[in-house]
A and B are shown apart, each in its own frame.
Chain A
Amino acid sequence: MNKKLYVARSPRIAARKLGEEMLVMSAQGSTLFTLNPTATILWQAADGVTALDEIVERRICPEFAVQPEEAKRDAQSLAEELAKHGILLVSEEPIANPSPAFQEQR
């Protein structure tokens, strides 16, 4: 990963934790997704100001015992995939929170 990437939760999604799984529904096409544990951590940590690398190092690596470089590559593809579905916003600049109220996640 050459450039720093920032990720933020899209303000147009609905989300709730059901048991151990995070459910996310994108208003774009009313599509429902279930996030696996890695994607859930990434999504919950996506505050727009913490760089993706940092999220991986601090939140994902300790949880899953993976090598940082491999985890960063996987996290970037995951972030891009989630962005395609309108679940995450991805940018090379910090993202001003689209809706401050979305800080609180369940």
Chain B
Amino acid sequence: MSLMEEIGERAHRLAVPFSAQLDLTYRCNEDCVHCYLDHQDHGEMTTAEIKQLLKEMADAGVFFLTLSGGEIFLRKDFFEILECARALTFCIKLKTNAVLIREAQAARLRDLGVESIQISIYSHRPEVHDAITKISGSLQRSIKAIRFLRSQGLKVIMANVLMTENMHDYRDTHRLAEELGAEYTLDPTVTPMMNGDRGVLNLNVGETDLHRVFRDESLVGDAAEFCAPPRPLGEDNMDSTPCSAGHTACYISPYGEFYPCVQFPLSCGNVRQQSFIDIWRNSEQLNEVRSIRLRDLSSCSQCAHGGSCTRCPGLAFLEGNMRGPSTADCERSFARTGIPSANLLSQKEKTSSARLVQIQLVPAITGNRLSEVGNAASAVAS
């Protein structure tokens, strides 16, 4: 077990919120096609409120603190907040599009001992990246910022989201990261909007492309190992908890809402009305999340992928049931191993019977629409 795993286990045992993400704003100077946020300001926490929150978080034991948004540099008090956070000795990771970072900001970030800066880059080609951010010149500015940050010796992680718009660019984007001395991550999942709107999911790449990406050894290392047949859950794992959300991790919105994770919009309280530690210890919703064991997951506990799945309880919650499956993760597991999950098999059964019923009840449906239904079913089954 690595030191980090050991520490994670200890934090879990001690019920310490060891890592947290704090979104400082949902406002943004980009307007990305896949973004899950509403960029209007609905009453962000003030500087004083954030400083108080940071103190409470430090007292509660938060060590890894991610400051994200929206675009964090849009807050005029950003450096004041960051200075306060560093004075409280958090280990700070920033998530930004970096468009507003110039030499002076990069130097200040270095002086403040920021651990890393994650920057969203969707393509090496301006016409693709800028079409996703809907801001002309944004790629050029972000790259310039990466150079400033690297020249200060700061760790930069280039974060790409794989979607239909940039599917063919992820390798060259990886090469760009290497040229700039940045690390590279590729997230193959577009997530629903926080308000539950699932329209953006149309941007997710198809199963065939995902299958190919998961076998690209420049990304996954040993493809045979990465795509190895799944492992079912062993009886000894049934009492494990699904992920760190709500156990050692949490998320706070710019409005003070407290969630188990940024991807798990189950409101557990608001730090404007209650102290951070009070919510962490006593929230009914958090305690419900904490009570869930792998054996409680309706279809996942019996699934062939149970022992190796990366099921996200937040995505399951957004699908309607925090104890249910997350179809996005089922699709990833399927693209990796070629073996459908229990959830996909059950959806296939439902889709097949729904199609038969539809044909019977709507005989006038066009051939085109029928083929769409057929494709959807075969995408699940193939």
Contact residues in B for A17 (Cβ distance below 8 Å): 61
Known: A25-B91, A32-B3. A14 touches B116 (CB 8 A): no
Interface pair A15/B89, CB less than 8 Å apart: yes
Determine the distance from Cα of A17 to Cα of B155 in the docked complex, in whole angstroms.
Answer: 25
Does A16 sit at the interface, judged by CB under 8 A?
yes
B92 within 8 A of A: yes
B88 touches A104 (CB 8 A): yes
| Chain A 17-39 interface 0/1 with B at a Cβ cutoff of 8 Å (1 = within) | 11101010101001010100000
Known: A23-B63, A32-B7. A14 touches B155 (CB 8 A): no
Whether a CB of chain B sits under 8 angstroms from the CB of A12 is yes
Measured between alpha carbons, how far is A17 from B60 in the docked complex, in Å? 10
Check A14–B87 contact: CB distance below 8 A: no
In the complex where A18-B7, A34-B3 touch, is A104 in contact with B114 (Cβ < 8 A)?
no
Q: Bin chain A's interface residue count.
A: 20 to 34
One of B3, B61, B114, B115 near A16 (C-beta < 8 A): B61
Residues of A within 8 A of B155 (CB): 30
* A32 and B4 within 8 A (CB): yes
With known contacts A18-B61, A30-B155, A106-B58, A99–B11 Cβ distance under 8 A? no
CB distance from B54 to the nearest CB of A (A): 12
Asked if A101 and B7 make an inter-chain contact with CB atoms under 8 angstroms apart, the answer reads: no
A105 within 8 A of B: yes
List, in ascending order, chain B residues with CB within 8 A of A106's CB: 58-59, 88-89
Q: Which residues of A contact B88 (CB under 8 A)?
A: 104, 106
Determine whether the beta carbon of A25 is less than 8 Å from that of B87: no
- B10 part of interface (Cβ distance < 8 Å): yes
Q: What's the Cα separation between A11 and B111 when bound, in Å?
A: 8
Q: Are A27 and B14 in contact (CB under 8 A)?
A: no
Is B90 within 8 A of A18, CB to CB?
A: no
Determine the residue in chain A with the shortest Cβ distance to B83: A101
A71 to B73, CA, bound (A): 48
User: Could you say which of A14, A34, A99, A104 contacts B90, with CB atoms under 8 Å apart?
Assistant: A14
How does the 8 Å CB contact mask read for B4-38 relative to A, with 1 for contact and 0 for none?
Answer: 10010011001010100000000000000000000
A22 to B251, alpha carbons, bound, how many Å? 24
**A34 CA to B5 CA, complexed, in Å:** 13
- Give the complex CA separation of A99 and B84 in angstroms: 11
CA of A25 to CA of B89, assembled, Å: 10
**Chain A residues whose C-beta falls within 8 Å of the C-beta of B221 in the assembled complex:** none
In the assembled complex, the CB of A82 is this many whole angstroms from the nearest CB of chain B, namely 15
Q: Is B113 an interface residue (CB 8 A)?
A: yes
Q: Which of A18, A34, A102 contacts B14 (CB 8 A)?
A: A18
Q: Is A78 an interface residue (CB 8 A)?
A: no
Tell me if A13 counts as interface (CB < 8 A to partner B): yes
A26 to chain B: closest CB distance in Å?
Answer: 9
Q: A16-B89, A18-B16, A19-B14 are in contact. Are A11 and B113 (CB under 8 A)?
A: yes
Cβ 8 A contact of A13, one of B58, B61, B87, B113: B113
- Contact digits for B63-91, partner A, Cβ 8 Å, 1 yes 0 no: 10000000000000000000110111111
With a 10 A CB-CB cut-off, give which of B4, B84, B89, B90 has the most chain A CB atoms.
Answer: B89
Tell me the chain A residues, 48-106 only, with Cβ under 8 Å from chain B: 99, 101-102, 104-106
- Given A14-B92, A16-B61, A30-B155, CB of A102 within 8 Å of CB of B87: yes
Q: Which residues of A contact B (CB under 8 A)?
A: 11-19, 21, 23, 25, 27, 30, 32, 34, 99, 101-102, 104-106
Top 3 nearest A-B pairs (CB, nearest first) are: A101-B87, A14-B91, A12-B113
Known contacts A34-B7, A102-B89, A104-B87; 15 additional CB pairs below 8 A are: A11-B113, A12-B113, A14-B63, A16-B62, A16-B63, A16-B90, A17-B61, A18-B18, A19-B10, A23-B63, A27-B113, A30-B115, A30-B155, A99-B86, A106-B59
